[in-house]
Amino acid sequence: MNINKFTFIDLFAGIGGIRLGVEANDGRCVFTSEWDQYAQKTYYANFGEKPHGDITQISTDDIPDHDLLTAGFPCQPFSIMGDGLGFSDTRGTLFFDIERIIRDKQPHMLLLENVKRLKSHDKGRTLAVIKKILTDLGYHLHIKVLNALDFGLPQKRERIFIIGFKKNYDFRFPSHSLLTRQLTLEDILEDDDTLDDKWFASDYITEKRKQSVEHKTVFYPSVWHENKGGNISVLPFSCALRAGASFNYLLVNGKRRLTSREQLRLQGFPDDFIVCGPETQIRKQTGNSVAVPVIVAIVAQMKKAIAKGEIPEHERLATNQLPLFDGAFDE
């Protein structure tokens, strides 16, 4: 494998956020799967390729060999059989399709992304199942929750990343972005005077927001975040974009919603990136996507680790590294 010219596949691809991050590190995409029709249109508009559809219906014979498998896979319930970790039964879940592709194709590297709560889902048993499956398939794993706020974006977005290698490399998760500087809301937000009225909340909602922050410190620009309990926080960044959230849970300066372009910027997409579909679908696409600078930094570290070569056995033991987990899993 030429680490400066490696191939990858993009599973559960969404609109291609992971692809952008891997391509920034000289990766070449050889296969994509995404079932959502609107995400497929956006993907085609930007990459000139229509993703294959439902991964559960795709044979591994139809998937090219590749060096890196990437997947922002949905978190579904896992059942565990037997005592302790026991044996997993992933049939009926989408992780099963990742498992069968890895088993048949044996890529050298894995990059899996999921929501932070995967770490505690079913009291940690779900992640334990995933770890057991991947280690049984021969991968050395590195697992950590990273926040987009630490990678140059004004969005608090915590996601868990599972990195796997066929060999035992000295991989270290990045701690910051490769961007030259931290972006702020001033860099992200569009001018109110240029926006259509559709982006502005009603007078009723605006007044209600003002009343809720009467005894709080208010500054501008800011994003006013309403949590599930109805509490409003005035923040110098956006909370995580969510696919199915209320259109009003994030309001710029307490009076308008984030535009489609602003949402893409918060995820680190370039301004020439095209999104397709009605606004509800665009919110879903951006909310389901990844923070691109985080992917860029992770893959850069993966390349760096491989370039240094596998850790000799005596050095691994000398540094108290475990055979399968190197301490990057931040329990």
| Residues carrying an active site annotation | 75
∠ Cα 185 186 191 (to 5°): 110
Three-class DSSP category at 38: helix
Burial class of residue 16, CB neighbours in 10 A (0-12, 13-18, 19+): buried
Phi/psi region, residue 130 (left: phi>0; alpha: psi -120 to 50; beta: rest), is alpha
Give the Cα separation of 251 and 235 in Å (integer). Answer: 10
SS3 state at 113: strand
Could you tell me which residues are beta bridge partners of residue 52? 33
In terms of DSSP H, where are the helices of the chain?
Answer: 17-23, 37-47, 95-105, 125-136, 185-188, 203-212, 260-266, 279-288, 292-308, 313-318
| Contact (CB, 8 A) for 34 and 40 | yes
